[in-house]
Amino acid sequence: MLELTAEQRDIKQAAREFAEKEFTDIARELDANEKFDDNIWKKAGELGFLGMFIEEKYGGAGLGHFEQCLVIEEFARVDTGIAQTMVAAYFGTQLIKLFGTEEQKQKYLPPVCAGKWRAGMASTEPDAGSDVAAITTTAVKNGDEYVISGNKMFISNANIADFLVVLCVTDPQNKKKHDRLSTIIVETDRPGYEANKLHGKLSIRCSDTGEVVLKDVHVPKENLVGKEGKGFYQLMDFFNRARLDGGGALAVGTAQGAFEKAVNHVKKRKAFGGPLGRLQIVQAKIAEMATLIEAGRSLLYRAAQKVDHGEVDHALIAMAKWYTCEIAVKVADEAIQLHGGYGILQEYNVEHYWRDAKVLEIFEGTKEVEKVLIGKSILGKV
């Protein structure tokens, strides 16, 4: 099941070549300047790398989440920040694909797949991150419209997205807190939409992250995704897809990129009369790193392939998300260690893997939250 088909190998190879050609020379500059180059989105869209799991009739490649993972893994191997901006471009389309109306799919999905529009998903608020159901942004029905008010925090693409899928409270009186929520598409050019960029991030610095203020933003009732009251459950289904490429694949690629830098370095760097790689403790470190990556990759591929075969195993997805992100931090840390002092110099092009890996343990569900999900799934109600 885990062997790649010839087509999947070709996709992975094409993504590798694209990333090496388009990312290598500009990645460090984009990271330093907290900027992105829109041409990369356009080119990635033209080559069909964005929203590959979206049906062809809506502009996607008609493939699976697994193929999307293969591509994002290769992108992150070169640069995690740029890879994450690619994920962010179609972040939220998974939810529209699953629950949107025909009109919504026709309107919002094709321009995202083509690299012309940028999407986004806004659930987190200043006082509600892991505790999603505690959000307070409201959407009040007013005739044929919803009027949306509230604040969102840490939103990818907040300043540059064309639209966001926003999690709102539509039924504040409902006694079941999970049934109070709905998802609504908000175009960012609507009056009352404001965003502020968050500067000075440790990780994925070229990716736009911002605060969003929604001040009485009017959207037509047709922008509701699916049914009212289903927002929390839709979000969980969304995360069961988005965590694969936006968590696991970013992590496996990051670990792989850092690992390759370490392997090259220990083959070249001389100490105690020969290359570092001749020392058995160095060999052991390389062996451990390779094994962690292989284990993480296997877990991710299995979780993604199951989703594409119609079996959404949320505990397995949570295992893949938590484990791959944790090993990305460990492998990147060891890669710096094996470089010695050179590892902390930007010039050696390895320190960014560790900086970028850290955020992977936080967004798309923190590692603690993933473990809560796994534990609950195993133990049930105790």
Ligand X SMILES: Cc1cc2nc3c(=O)[nH]c(=O)nc-3n(C[C@H](O)[C@H](O)[C@H](O)COP(=O)(O)OP(=O)(O)OC[C@H]3O[C@@H](n4cnc5c(N)ncnc54)[C@H](O)[C@@H]3O)c2cc1C
CB of 186 to ligand X, least distance (A): 13
Alpha carbon distance 21, 28 (integer Å):
14
CB contact at 8 A, 340 and 288: no
- In the complex with ligand X, the residue whose CB is nearer, 98 or 372, is 372
Residues 6+ apart with CB under 8 A from 362: none
Residue 137-166 contact track with ligand X, rule CB under 6 A, x = bound: -----------------xxx----------
- Total chain residues near ligand X (CB under 6 A): 20
Q: Does 130 bind ligand X (CB under 6 A)?
A: yes
Residue nearest to ligand X (CB): 129
Task: Specify the amino acid at residue 132.
Answer: V
Alpha carbon distance 272, 250 (integer Å):
36
Structure tokens at 322: 């938590």
Give catalytic status of residue 364 as yes or no: yes
- Which run of H or of E encompasses 133? none
CB of 198 to ligand X, least distance (A): 8
CB of 175 to ligand X, least distance (A): 22
Residue 190-209 contact track with ligand X, rule CB under 6 A, x = bound: --------------x----x
Structure tokens at 158: 């907040």
- Binding part of the chain for ligand X, among 15-23, 68-76, 122-130, 266-274 by CB under 6 A, reads 122-130
Of the residues 34, 334, 364, 370, only one is catalytic, namely: 364
CB contact at 8 A, 59 and 67: no
Q: Name which of residues 335 to 374 contact ligand X (CB under 6 A).
A: 359, 362-363, 366, 368-369, 372
CB contact at 8 A, 209 and 198: yes
CB of 215 to ligand X, least distance (A): 19
Alpha carbon distance 322, 170 (integer Å):
32
End-to-end CA distance of the chain: 35
Q: Which of 80, 93, 123, 256 binds ligand X (CB under 6 A)?
A: 123
DSSP string, 194-208: EEEEPP--SS-TTS-
- In the complex with ligand X, the residue whose CB is nearer, 48 or 51, is 51
- In the complex with ligand X, the residue whose CB is nearer, 107 or 201, is 201
CB of 185 to ligand X, least distance (A): 14
CB of 290 to ligand X, least distance (A): 28
Residue 77-96 contact track with ligand X, rule CB under 6 A, x = bound: --------------x-----
- In the complex with ligand X, the residue whose CB is nearer, 236 or 362, is 362
**Residues making up the chain, counted from first to last:** 382
| Adjacent-strand bridge partners of 322 | none
Number of Cβ within 10 Å of residue 267's Cβ equals 12
- As a whole number of Å, the CA-based R_g of the chain is 21
Residues lying near ligand X in the complex (CB under 6 A) are found at: 91, 120-124, 129-130, 154-156, 204, 209, 359, 362-363, 366, 368-369, 372
Active site residues: 364
